[in-house]
C-alpha cells in the first residue's frame, strides 16, 4: 500500500474509532492494533493523537460539506436550503454521545467545525436566501441571520441519542419545513410542497 492510500486508510479507520468509542477511549495504540500496523508506522504519519484527531475531523467535515454542495448544485434555492439542513442533520447523527462529550475539550477540533463547516454552510445559505428572494420564492423581509440561527438551534436541540430515531427525524424535518413555509411566498410554498428530498444518512464506515 502506497503512502497516500495508507494515510487515508489510517484516517478512515481512526475516524470510526473516535466516533464509536470517543476521543478519550481511542489511543494511538488502539488505532494501530485495529489497523494491524506498528505504532512506529502510525507515528510516522501523525506525531500525536491530536494531530490524528484533527486530520480525521478535517477529512470528514470536507467530505460532508462537499456532499451537501453536490446535492444543492442542481436544486432551486428553496430545495437547496432544505438539502443543506437535511445534510447537516444527517452528518450530526454520526457523532455518538462519547465523542460529543469528549470533543468540547479539544479547541482545535472545535475551530475546525467552525471554519470548515459552519462558516462555509452559512455563506452558502446566505447566497441561497438572496437567490430565493430574487426569484420571488421568499419574502423580501425575511431575515437570513435569524433564519440561520433557527436552523442551528433546531439542529443543536436534537438529542444525541434517541430510542425513536424515525420520530426524531420527522420532528426535525417538520420544524425546518414549517419555518421555511412561513418565510416563503405563495410560489415558494408551492415549490416547498413539491420537494421530495429525504434525509440520507452517511456511511458510518467513513465518518467521524
pLDDT tens-digit map of 158-175: 876 656 778 888 899 999
Between CA 71 and CA 87 the distance in angstroms is: 9
Q: Which of 95-99, 101-105, 107-111 has the lowest mean pLDDT?
A: 95-99
Torsion sign, CA atoms 18, 23, 24, 28: positive
Q: What is the pTM of this model?
A: 0.86
Residues 47-96 have pLDDT tens digits of 999 999 999 999 999 999 999 999 898 889 999 999 999 999 999 888 88
Alpha-carbon distance values, 25 to 17, 33, 96, 97, 194 (Å): 9, 14, 13, 13, 45
Instruction: Record the cell numbers describing residue 205, joined without a space.
Output: 464506515
Nearest to 78 by CA among 194, 196, 172, 188: 188
Write down the pLDDT at residue 2: 87
39 pLDDT band (50/70/90 cuts)? very high
Write down the pLDDT at residue 206: 46
Interval 4-8 mean pLDDT: 94
Nearest to 137 by CA among 88, 89, 90, 193: 193
Write down the pLDDT at residue 96: 84
Residue 99 pLDDT exceeds 60:
yes
Contacts of the segment 40-49: beta carbons below 8 A, 24+ positions apart = 42/10, 45/6, 45/7, 45/10, 46/10
Q: Residue 136, by phi and psi: left (phi above 0), alpha (psi -120 to 50) or beta? A: left
- Mean residue pLDDT across the chain: 90
Three state DSSP letters for 114-154: HHHHHHHHHHHHHHHHHHHHHCCCECCCCCHHHHHHHHHHH
Element (H, E) at 189: helix 186-193
Residue 112 pLDDT exceeds 90:
yes
Can you say how many angstroms the Cα of residue 109 is from the centroid of all Cα atoms in its chain?
14
Between CA 72 and CA 128 the distance in angstroms is: 10
Amino acid at each position: 500500500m502506497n503512502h497516500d492510500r495508507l494515510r487515508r486508510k489510517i484516517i478512515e479507520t481512526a475516524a470510526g474509532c473516535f466516533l464509536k468509542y470517543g476521543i478519550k477511549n481511542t489511543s494511538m495504540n488502539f488505532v494501530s492494533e485495529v489497523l494491524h500496523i506498528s505504532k512506529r508506522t502510525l507515528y510516522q504519519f501523525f506525531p500525536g493523537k491530536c494531530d490524528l484527531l484533527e486530520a480525521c475531523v478535517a477529512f470528514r467535515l470536507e467530505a460532508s460539506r462537499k456532499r451537501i454542495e453536490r446535492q444543492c448544485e442542481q436544486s432551486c434555492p428553496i430545495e437547496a436550503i432544505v438539502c443543506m439542513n437535511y445534510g447537516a442533520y444527517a452528518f450530526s447523527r454520526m457523532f455518538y454521545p462519547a465523542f460529543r462529550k469528549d470533543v468540547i475539550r479539544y479547541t482545535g477540533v472545535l475551530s475546525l467545525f467552525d471554519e470548515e463547516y459552519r462558516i462555509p454552510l452559512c455563506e452558502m445559505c446566505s447566497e441561497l436566501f438572496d437567490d430565493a428572494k430574487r426569484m420571488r420564492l421568499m419574502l423580501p423581509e425575511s431575515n437570513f441571520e435569524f433564519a440561520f440561527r433557527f436552523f442551528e438551534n433546531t439542529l443543536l436541540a436534537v438529542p444525541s441519542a434517541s430510542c425513536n430515531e424515525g420520530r426524531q427525524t420527522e420532528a426535525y424535518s417538520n420544524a425546518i419545513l414549517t419555518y421555511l413555509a412561513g418565510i416563503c411566498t405563495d410560489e415558494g410554498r408551492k415549490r416547498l410542497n413539491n420537494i421530495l428530498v429525504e434525509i440520507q444518512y452517511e456511511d458510518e464506515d467513513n465518518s467521524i
